[in-house]
Structures are given as structure tokens and as C-alpha cells.
A and B are shown apart, each in its own frame.
Chain A
Amino acid sequence: MRSTRPRRRLLLATLGVAVASGIALGVAGLWGEGAVAAEPLVATSVCEAHALKARKAEDPSLEIEIPPNFDMPWPTRAACLSHEAALDPNTPGPVQPIPFSHKHHAGLYGVDCQYCHSGTDRSPAAGVPAVETCMGCHSLFPPSYDELSGIRTLKEYWERKQSIPWIQIHRLPEYVQFRHNRHLEAGVDCQACHGAVQDMDKVHLVPDTHWWPWLLPTQKLEMGWCINCHRQNGASQDCLTCHY
């Protein structure tokens, strides 16, 4: 949240400029002779540059001006947009310490889940990527990416050699012994439990309800929900499989 406010102000400012110049134009027209040349829209960041270019593409009449230091491909438009989306508190799911978008990484660039969550196929616990893993790629990125607050935060953590306190979304009680590796072995794909993460900018629990015959419905990650899947796939229903 903290990092988003300045960007908001930036946008407001731009809009303000735009409106003001519009009015100015109108007034000039009113007074007839010697119409003043329209003030062009000036980009103040790469992301904004992308935004303006897009608008320009829509109506060519628009006067825009992109300072050269903002006229570059990185961060890509997609990055800017998903970064924005991951910061939006009004979509489901908590805002994470870093606006990391699974949609961007897993969806757009199709990074394999196991690339970051390594060891999931070997270990009961799904690995949460070490900060190093993130830096593995992001340290190679051009510095212009730093205009994204998320990248900046990441680098701060890295410099402070601190781990990132992610907020856990998919949580099982401590008395449940879940084994990721066995489920991968069995060919269950991540989405079965975690939902279509590759389409989420902000990861959140996708509600999924199974209606038992004769019984109360069971929600995702509740016991009945697991049992249902186990029954359908002929997996073990022995209590000791998950509870000991």
C-alpha cells in the first residue's frame, strides 16, 4: 500500500494537467484569433509512457510527449498492468508484502510452478521460493524496472538479507499431514487445490463446494473435500494417511 500512493498522485497530476490544457484550449478558441498551441501530455514514468502510447493509438489527434529516459520497453506494459492489479485492494485476496502477480509469471510467461516452488515434487512441503530465487532473474533485469515499487521492495529485502513475510493463503491445520510430492506423483495438478493460480494477479482461495448426498456441503480444504477427491481417485481413505 505504502508504495502505491505516490503513483496515484502522479496519475491525478497527469489527469489534472490534461483537463487544464483542455480548458485552456477551449478558452483560446472562444477568444478566436491567435489560438494557443495545445499543451502535449508528458509521460513521467515508463509505465505512464506505455499508457499514453496506448491512448495515442486510440485517438491519433492526441498530443503526447515521451521524454527519452521514459521511452523504453522495460518495464513492459504487461508488467506495469499486473503490478497495478496485484496492488488493487478491491480484488479478492490479501495484498502481499510484494505485489507479485502469479498471472504475470506463471500465466503470461508460463514459468513452471516448480521453477520457484522447487522441491514440491520431492518433499511433503511445497517450497516457498527463497529471496535468492527471485533475485536470480530480477538481478539481471535493467535498472529501469526499479520504478516498480515491488521490484524495489524485493531488492530491499535482498540487501537486508531478510526473508519476505508472505501471507499464507492455502492453510491446513497442523494436525493434517499433507504430502505435496505424493499428490504430484499421482498426477494431481496444482490447480486442483490451488485454483487457476496462473490467472490470478493476487492469489486467493477460490471457493469450491462439494455437495454430498445426505450430507452438509463441504468447502475447499475441508476434510470432506479431500475425502471426496480421494474417493473419486481411489486414493487411501485410511485416517492414518493424513492424521498422526
Chain B
Amino acid sequence: MPELDRRDFLKLVGVGAGGAAAAGCSDHVEKLIPYVVQPEVITPGMPVFYASTCRECPAACGLHVRTREGRPIKLEGNPDHPVNRGALCGRGQASIGRTYHPDRFRKPQRRGAAGALEDVSWKEATAALAAKIAERPGGTWVLGGATGPSLSDLIDRFVGAVGAGGRLVYEPLSHDALREASRAVFGAAGLPIFDLSGADYVVDLGADCFETWLSPIEHQRQVLEARDLASAEGRAARMVYVGPRLSMTAGNADEWLPAKAGSEGLVALALANVALARRQAAGQPVGGDAGLLAALLAPYTPEKVAEPTGVDAAALRRVGEQLALAKRPVALPPGPGLASSRAVAASAAALILDAVLGAVGRSVGLPPETPATPEPANLAALEALVAAMNAGRVSVLLIHDSNPVYSLPPQLGFRDALAKVGLVVAFASGPDETTELAGLVLPDHTPLESWGDASSRPGVRGVVQPTIRPLFDTQAFGDVLLDTARAMGDAVGAKLPQGSFRGVVEASWGGSFDAVLARGGSFAPAPLRGGAVQAGAAKLAFRVPELVGEGEHALYAPPSPLLYDGRGAALPWLQETPDPVTKISWQSWLELSHASAEALGVEAGDVVAIETPAGRAEAIAFPRGGIRDDVVALAVGQGHSVGLYASHQNDGRPGEARGASAIALLPSVRDEAGGRAWLVSKARITRTGGHARLALMQKSDNKRGRQLGDAVALAALEGDAHASGHAGPHEVRRPFAAAADATDGSAYRWGMTIDVDKCTGCSACTIACSIENNIPTVGEEQVVRSRLMSWLRIERWIGDGTQELRAGRPPYDDHEQLGRIDVRNSPMLCQQCGAAPCEPVCPVLATYHAPEGLNGMIYNRCIGTRYCSNNCPYKVRRFNWFDYAIHNWPDPMPLMLNPDVTVRCQGVMEKCTFCVQRIDLARQTAKNEGRPIADGEVTPACAQTCPSHAIVFGNLRDEGSAAVRTAEAGGVRAYHALHTLNTRPSISYLARVIRDPSSRIDEDGGHAEAGHHANAMTPSQEGTA
């Protein structure tokens, strides 16, 4: 690829200590390897940033890739990108690991006679492929995940050029039902666009919009900005969650209606029914022919719906009325996990509710007439393909950007059908279940190595540009297509663009490509398209779905917030980060209610068997209060049998599946329109008698009334918050003046303000921290012993907890209750105490109080007495029990280490220091420019990536700094963790605000709190509880 020469410099060279692969206590940099040609943009030792786009999920967030000496070392959100505005989720943060993954294919490979893969050259590989296609062009099919417009376009042209049989876009979480529902309700097929900004009443009908649904980061930001306490609207804003399980998203809502799984549609209709009446009475528009709607909704009064949904009619009526009175209400349709055989109707119901609420065109936009990329194939289309394969009508199958063997329901028979395909070609950068069965493996670049683009929505298109020269002998899928076409002769080659795929990408942008590269794409979101409910909507049959199989529990398989549809399983950070709800990592567990658990006689940790018509699997039982008795939940994502981290390979047992795959348990069932349904089966749960030690990082959600994760009732705030928008006359309830805890001369005292009310628990900060600070992952066995290394963890508390004591050895402590939400997600990291208990006890001065108030940790001085950790009440210090740096970073992973942070060796304590390397960098620039460090100039990795801006970092000695202002704006919400211990922490937390769900809305839309929330306590009361 001649064009790539411009980027020749992106080669792997460490300069001096640049390659900080050596462990912190050994120094093994002996040679200085200079560049051959030093690119003008690179100064060894200085970071270079490139704008690109994240390809982990269809949301396609913008990236800023930080590179050092031509190696990407950290991904951060692109502040210009309208979708993520500088934030990035955990999956995006971890995706940097794909490029340095030890599993990666080093060369193209062909399956030899013996069935083993053997290396081939690209030349012969493409030649062989071309020949095979030429045999029977019509028998050639392309199956692959959602791609950027230009690649998608190229694939279509390739299909056309070679006269292939066809192409299917395949996304496991394809939202088929929603696309169909949009057609049925508005007559426009495709994914509607949900813009929640300013929404003051969100009804999430099981969408889990903060986790995996459509555009999670965007939704988090929009909802949490909308409910910002600074404004009256913010205080008025409410969120209601409807669904069978207290998910991460549900935990952030104000009210939870635990409806029967699959009955969300009926709930939506009932709400619409109430709202319609109310709005008509008030003479407000109802987004469609009122008569039609009235007729459609008439049968679904709350009273009628109460029984099938299991939701109290009064609650439905109340929410319906609140919706009707809200200024910008919006309802979100059920997510993929709840897509049943009646999913289209259910999603349609949600859209109808939106229409009734007048949200269409305001918060909900109809899909564009001409989608940038083709719609994904639904289950029916996939079945057709499988049939064709079985019939031997498919001679060549090109599989890219997807792992169908894992993610398609086994009942579909895709796996067996593959055997009947002449040549299966897998384009993947690493091994997975599909490449295992491929005859030809043509390793693809990772997104960090390749050119491309991605379109989040009309008008928003991000560019993907390489930030490192390909580590191995891989090629971009697009280029392989071009080469293959050319190998098939000029006739075919002529039909495709000349040059390389980069040329294709560049050509697809009008104007200056460099400007595009600099900005990261073109960001001009098209306005939302409005529309009215069509008559066709009435034809839908709204019913509670009937499930196949027997057993008293419905099997609910929600996408995992971290592993998504399973593609995250290969990344150790996503495996190891505790699940935001259960705090379990590396394993797969079956959530069931305490009642069900007692009925089955199982306790947490017992291994249970799950049987459905589709198959049988074993998982670890995890009883919890936050799930309906008639449902069991098994998250999608685990159960891979291939891959270093995805499977149990790292235990020396290659190919043994890690955990259970929910997909393998789901029968292949279509919804009304042939879409893929997930909530389809009942499950019979039986105990196997086996027991497993849970890799559970938080064994109790009971804070025992201690000052961690406080909450305040909105009612208690009202007067005070009205008085002041921001820094008002009232002074912050600040137990200690942490600002004082630095040397007198110092201009800075670094500190943080963390808004527990904004923390959704998504854990993006945890992963960002691990990657920024070279924190190793330790693996399942170590996590079982709570030896997780992460410096930053999200504590999840339920209510204020009780002080009850359980004798013996409680497996874990759970205070969730069905239908009740009081979840406080409170990030816990080193508090950089002013009177730090850890400091005086260290015999060798390895930890001490730095002049700028940081609690310094000097790794190379530490001898590992571990006294500091014993004396730390927050328990935020981590110890290197083994030489993780050597054992847990197989090649080429060391290349992604941050050269600015020492790699710790065995026997050394480590902890958070507010990303002191970033502080130092900022100080250098400030010094060179002869000015003090400005506010916002330093941002630790956690604060930088937080989608909801819950973490604000700054200088406590600067009264104007964002951190101080936020703390003061917090008013009585401000508190210090465990402040009774007088550790003088530099982190101020802002208590979670409990918004009473039963608060009435009077005509002018203002909220008046009805009564004091049962659970509400002011922090001051709480400290002494």
C-alpha cells in the first residue's frame, strides 16, 4: 500500500526508557534504538494524538488516540463528537487491547489436510480465494457485522463486481423488532433515533439505555444532564424503569415497576391510555389521529393491564398522568434481551406511547429514508442463508467483523451448515469460534491499524485512521476484497476503485481529508424527523408472549454491560472489571430471586443446571432481591471456548469454555416479523450439588449506616437548592478544610468532587484507570481471593443498610427489594487524605504526604510490609502478590504500557495518585509558559472518561476551580467518606438524591415533594447512625 508510506514512521521503536516494559524494579534498557527517519510530528517522549472512531459497538463514538513513539497507549473520547462528547465507555477504553492482544493471528493461514492451520502468503491466499470465487461466483456470500459506510459500499460493489450470491449484514443485537415497529407505527423502517437531552420524564421499558442499548454514553450524558439539580427542570426530572430485573440502568431510575418479562408493551399501552385521556382533556396534541389512538388504546386501561403485567394499576395510572404533564417526556422501547416473539408489538407500543406524549420529532426521530448502511438481516434471512448453505448452494462464505458460530442460536444449525460450504473465509484479527471452522483465515487489521469510517446517525460520520503500523502481517478487509477482485482479472478489477481501501475512504469525504482527519469526521447531526401514528399500527396484536419449554422460570438473557454480545470476552479488562450490578467478574452466574433460590435449595455459589429446549448449561447461582420470582437471568457474553482470556486457556486447559453461553440456551424463535427473539424460553433450574467460589469483589451491599454512599431526599434539599443556582451564600457542609493540607508555599492542593447522584456505576473509569496506569489484570483465581488490582472501584450500596449481624460465614449480603430502588454507586479511590493513616506507619517513607497534598506512593522504595493498607480505612491500596508485570502481559501487550508510569514489581504496594504523571505533564507545560496550571488543564483518566461527568478534579486552593464550585453547589449533599475518622480526605462526595417517585406534578409542571422519602437521611444524621 504505497499511500501508507506517509505513515511509515508508525513503527515500533522505543527510545531510551520509552518502552517501559521492564518491571519497575529491574532496569533492562541497554540499547538505544533510534529512528531511521524521524517523522516531523514525533518527538520521542512526547505524546501525539490522533482523532479516530471507536468500532466496539454501532454507537460509533469519536476517539482521541494518544500515541507515544508511534504506539497507541490510551483511548479517550473526542470532545467534538456529538455522540460521546469526550467520554468513552469501558468497552471503548478496553478496545485498545485488541491491537496488542497476544492471541492475534501473525500471518494469513489456510487449513491444511490435517485440519490444522498453516501459514500462507497473502499472494497465494488471495489467489486461492479468487480462484475459488471464480469457480461459482453466484455461490459466494458475504456475512459480516455492521461496518462503516465506505467499507459497506465497497462490499456491495465487490458483490456486484464478482456477481456474488449476496451479502448479509449480521449484528447479534440487531433490534429487528424496533426497526419493524417503526415501520408498523410510522411507516418508516429502521432504527429510530432517541435524543434524551432535556427529557424531564424518561420511561425505560427495559431498554437498559445506560448499558448496551443504541448509544449508551449519549443516553447517560443526556439523562444525567437533564436531571441536573442546578435547575428547576433538573429537580423535576424523573426516570421510571419497567422490567423484570434491577439492572444497572434501573438502579439509576427513580421508580421501578417490576413488570412481568415481555409485558412491557402492555405497560406502555396502559400509560398511553392514561396519558392520552389526560392530554386530550388538556387539549394537547397527541401525535396522531386521536380517534385512531383512542380506539387502539381503549382496551388497555391500567386496571385491565395490571393482571397480565403484574404492575399495580394505581402506579400505572400515576405514572401515566405524570407523563402526560411532563414537559419533555419520552419512552424507550424494550431492549434486545426482552425481545420476545411479540417484540414488534411491544416496541410498537412504546413508540405509540412516544407519539401520544408528543415526543416524536422532539425526543424521538424517525429513521432516515436512506440508511447509510444496509439494515441488518433478521432471523428469517439468516435461516434462508443456512438453508442455502445446507443445500450446497454456497461455495464461498466470507465472514467479517462477526462471530456467528458463537452468537447465532445453535438451533439455527449454522455450525453444521458451515461444513457444507466449499470455502469459509474468516476475516478476524484474533481466533474465535468462527475462525476455528474457517478454511482460510485472512487476519484483519484492528481498528487502530486500519482506515475506515463509521456513521452514528444521519449527518454524523466519524473517520477511522491508523495510529500504528500493523503489528503483524495483516491486511484490511477492504484491501483484501480489492486484491481478490484484481486477482480475478481486469474485467472484475475494473469495476472496483483503483488504489487501496484508504483511497476509497478518502474519496468518500468531500473537501480536505486532512481537516477531516484533524477533527475526526464531519459532525452535523440532522434534525429529528417527526411523524404520526399510521393506521397500520392497529393491526398489531398486543399480547404477553408465550414461552417455549417448561419450567417455572422465564430465562432472561440481557446483553452484558461489559462483554456486550460476547465480543468483549477476549479483553481481560472487560472480563476482570466487576459487573456493575453483581460485582462478579470472569465467571457467568445465574441471577434468581431469593424465593426461587429457597425453593430450589441453592445458595450463592452453588452450581445449578439450566435446561431449555435448546440445551443445557451450568452456571453459578447468585440469588438477589432485585429480580422477579418468575424470572432467572443469565447475561450474554460468556461461554467462549476459544481465546486466551475468553476461554479457560490461561488455566492450561485450552478450549474449555469459560462460564455458560446464554445464547446457546435460547431456542431459535422469530418475532412477528421474522426478527430475532431473545426472551423465548422457560428454563428448568436444578442443582448439580457442585459449588464454586464466586469471583465476587463486593460481598456486601450493606453499608451499615457508615458514611459511604450517602443519600439525601430531594425534599430536604428543596429550599436550599431554590435559593442558589450555583455557588450561593450558604457554605458547604465540609467536615474538614482539606485545602489546608499542603505545604504553605504550594499553590495547589489537588482534590476531587464526586457526585454520587451522577455515578451510574458503568465502570468506564475503572478500566480507563487500569490502562492509563499500567494496572495488570490478575485472572479469575486471584479475583476469587479479592486480589483485584484496580485502584478505583465502584462501590454499590443499597439504601443505608442495616446494622444487623449474621453469624457464621455469610456468602454475601443482599438488601435489594423488588420494586424498590435505592442504589448508590460510589466510586472509591485513594482519598489523598490530609491526615493519612497510611503515611506514619510506613517504616521506610515509601508513602508520604507530597507538598501539593497528594499522598505519594514511591514504588521503588516500598519493601512490602503492607502496614499502610491495614491502616487505610478506605482499603484502596493494592499489593503485587506476584510479578504480575511479567506473568500477565504476554507479548505484544507490553507495547501498550504507558511509558510515563512505572511498572510495579512483585512485593510492592500501589495505589491511585490522581494520575500524578498527568499533573506533572501539565506542570511542565505551565512552567515553560511561566504560568500556573489552569483549572481543567489536568484531568485524571477516570474523570476524563466519565460519561456523566460525575467526577470533577481540580485545585482545592483555587476557590474558582470546578471541583470546589461543584462541591459548594452540592450544598448539604457534600460529605467526606468515613469522616468520623478525621482522615481529612481531599475528595468531597455529593450525596445521591432520592427523588420521591410519588411526587405529584401540579398544573404548572413544577414538582412538589409529597412527603419525606422513607429512606432519606441527611448525611449529618447518617454519620452517627
Please list the residues of chain A having a beta carbon within 8 angstroms of any beta carbon in chain B. Answer: 118-119, 122-133, 157-158, 161-168, 171-175, 177, 179-182, 185, 236, 238-241, 243-244
- Give complex CA distance A181, B928 in Å: 9
Instruction: Determine, out of B22-30, B306-314, B575-583, B820-828, the stretch whose residues face the partner at the interface.
Output: B22-30
Is A132's CB under 8 angstroms from B44's CB? no
- A161 to chain B: which residues have CB within 8 Å? 36
Known contacts A119-B45, A174-B24; A128 and B34 CB within 8 A of each other: yes
Known contacts A122-B46, A244-B902; A172 and B17 CB within 8 A of each other: yes
- A179 to chain B: which residues have CB within 8 Å? 924
Is A125's CB under 8 angstroms from B38's CB? no
Is A130's CB under 8 angstroms from B38's CB? yes
Is B859's CB under 8 angstroms from A175's CB? yes
Is A168's CB under 8 angstroms from B43's CB? no
How many contacting A-B pairs (Cβ < 8 A)? Answer: 140
Query: What are the interface flags for B818-859 relative to A under an 8 Å C-beta threshold, 1 for contact and 0 otherwise?
Result: 000000000000000000000000000100101100101011
Instruction: Determine, out of B633-641, B688-696, B913-921, B952-960, the stretch whose residues face the partner at the interface.
Output: B913-921
Is A133's CB under 8 angstroms from B924's CB? no
Closest Cβ of chain A to B325, distance in Å, is: 54
Partner of B44, one of A123, A172, A238, A240: A123
B901 CB-CB contact with A under 8 Å = yes
Greatest chain A CB density within 10 A among B20, B26, B924 is at B924
Is B35's CB under 8 angstroms from A131's CB? yes
Greatest chain B CB density within 10 A among A161, A166, A181 is at A181
Nearest chain A residue, comparing its CB with the CB of B45 = A125
Known contacts A127-B38, A131-B37, A133-B38; A239 and B45 CB within 8 A of each other: no
B295 CB-CB contact with A under 8 Å = no
Is A177's CB under 8 angstroms from B16's CB? no
Known contacts A130-B34, A130-B37; A125 and B927 CB within 8 A of each other: no
Ordered by A's residue number, 13 sampled pairs between the chains whose C-beta atoms are within 8 Å are: A119-B43, A165-B33, A166-B32, A166-B33, A172-B27, A174-B23, A174-B903, A175-B24, A175-B902, A177-B920, A239-B861, A240-B913, A244-B913
Nearest chain A residue, comparing its CB with the CB of B20 = A174
B717 CB-CB contact with A under 8 Å = no
Query: What are the interface flags for B3-24 relative to A under an 8 Å C-beta threshold, 1 for contact and 0 otherwise?
Result: 0000000000101111010111
- Give complex CA distance A163, B861 in Å: 36
- A171 to chain B: which residues have CB within 8 Å? 27, 29-30
- Give complex CA distance A171, B17 in Å: 9
Given contacts A132-B36, A173-B27, 16 further A-B contacts (CB under 8 A): A119-B45, A127-B38, A127-B44, A129-B38, A130-B38, A166-B32, A168-B30, A174-B29, A175-B859, A177-B902, A182-B927, A239-B850, A240-B916, A243-B902, A244-B902, A244-B913
Is A244's CB under 8 angstroms from B44's CB? no
B103 CB-CB contact with A under 8 Å = no
Partner of B901, one of A166, A240, A244: A244
Closest Cβ of chain A to B613, distance in Å, is: 57
Known contacts A125-B17, A240-B913; A166 and B29 CB within 8 A of each other: no
* Among all A-B residue pairs, the 8 with the closest Cβ atoms: A125-B45, A130-B38, A123-B45, A173-B27, A130-B35, A128-B34, A119-B43, A175-B860
Interface residues of B in 74-104 (CB under 8 A from A): none
Greatest chain B CB density within 10 A among A119, A174, A243 is at A174
Is A168's CB under 8 angstroms from B25's CB? no
Closest Cβ of chain A to B896, distance in Å, is: 16
Is B924's CB under 8 angstroms from A125's CB? no
B900 CB-CB contact with A under 8 Å = yes
- Give complex CA distance A174, B885 in Å: 13
Known contacts A185-B927, A243-B858; A131 and B36 CB within 8 A of each other: yes
Is B900's CB under 8 angstroms from A177's CB? yes
B31 CB-CB contact with A under 8 Å = yes
- B30 to chain A: which residues have CB within 8 Å? 167-168, 171
Partner of A132, one of B13, B16, B23, B38: B38
Known contacts A240-B854, A243-B859, A244-B916; A175 and B43 CB within 8 A of each other: no
Closest Cβ of chain B to A133, distance in Å, is: 7
Closest Cβ of chain B to A182, distance in Å, is: 6
- B860 to chain A: which residues have CB within 8 Å? 173, 175, 243
- A124 to chain B: which residues have CB within 8 Å? 45-46, 924
Is A127's CB under 8 angstroms from B43's CB? yes
Please list the residues of chain B having a beta carbon within 8 angstroms of any beta carbon in chain A. Answer: 13, 15-18, 20, 22-38, 43-46, 845, 848, 850-851, 854, 856, 858-861, 900-903, 913, 916-917, 920, 924, 927-928
Partner of A238, one of B27, B38, B850, B927: B850
Closest Cβ of chain A to B885, distance in Å, is: 11
- B27 to chain A: which residues have CB within 8 Å? 171-175
Is B46's CB under 8 angstroms from A174's CB? no
- A166 to chain B: which residues have CB within 8 Å? 31-34
- Give complex CA distance A182, B923 in Å: 10
- A244 to chain B: which residues have CB within 8 Å? 856, 901-902, 913, 916-917, 920
- A122 to chain B: which residues have CB within 8 Å? 43, 46
- B916 to chain A: which residues have CB within 8 Å? 240, 244
- Give complex CA distance A124, B924 in Å: 10
- A130 to chain B: which residues have CB within 8 Å? 34-38
Closest Cβ of chain B to A99, distance in Å, is: 16
- A164 to chain B: which residues have CB within 8 Å? 34
Nearest chain A residue, comparing its CB with the CB of B904 = A175
- Give complex CA distance A130, B13 in Å: 11
- B43 to chain A: which residues have CB within 8 Å? 118-119, 122-123, 127
Closest Cβ of chain A to B87, distance in Å, is: 26
- Give complex CA distance A177, B859 in Å: 13
Closest Cβ of chain A to B351, distance in Å, is: 53
Is B44's CB under 8 angstroms from A125's CB? yes
Closest Cβ of chain A to B643, distance in Å, is: 31
- A167 to chain B: which residues have CB within 8 Å? 30-32
- A129 to chain B: which residues have CB within 8 Å? 34, 38
Nearest chain A residue, comparing its CB with the CB of B8 = A161
- Give complex CA distance A19, B928 in Å: 65
Closest Cβ of chain B to A156, distance in Å, is: 12
- A182 to chain B: which residues have CB within 8 Å? 924, 927
Is B851's CB under 8 angstroms from A238's CB? yes
Partner of A185, one of B20, B35, B900, B928: B928
- Give complex CA distance A171, B32 in Å: 10
Greatest chain B CB density within 10 A among A171, A175, A182, A243 is at A175
Known contacts A119-B44, A238-B851, A244-B901; A168 and B16 CB within 8 A of each other: yes
Known contacts A119-B43, A127-B38, A174-B22; A168 and B31 CB within 8 A of each other: yes
Closest Cβ of chain B to A155, distance in Å, is: 13
Nearest chain A residue, comparing its CB with the CB of B38 = A130
- Give complex CA distance A123, B18 in Å: 12
Nearest chain B residue, comparing its CB with the CB of A236 = B851
Nearest chain A residue, comparing its CB with the CB of B859 = A175
Partner of B15, one of A128, A157, A240: A128
Closest Cβ of chain A to B937, distance in Å, is: 17
- Give complex CA distance A226, B28 in Å: 21
Closest Cβ of chain B to A50, distance in Å, is: 31
- B920 to chain A: which residues have CB within 8 Å? 177, 240-241, 244
Closest Cβ of chain A to B227, distance in Å, is: 37
Known contacts A172-B17, A177-B920, A181-B924; A132 and B24 CB within 8 A of each other: no
Is B38's CB under 8 angstroms from A123's CB? no
- A127 to chain B: which residues have CB within 8 Å? 15, 34, 38, 43-45
Is A174's CB under 8 angstroms from B17's CB? yes
Closest Cβ of chain B to A86, distance in Å, is: 17
Is A240's CB under 8 angstroms from B928's CB? no
- Give complex CA distance A157, B36 in Å: 9
Partner of B902, one of A119, A163, A168, A174: A174
- Give complex CA distance A200, B43 in Å: 27
- B32 to chain A: which residues have CB within 8 Å? 128, 165-168
- Give complex CA distance A124, B845 in Å: 27
- Give complex CA distance A162, B31 in Å: 14
Is B16's CB under 8 angstroms from A125's CB? yes
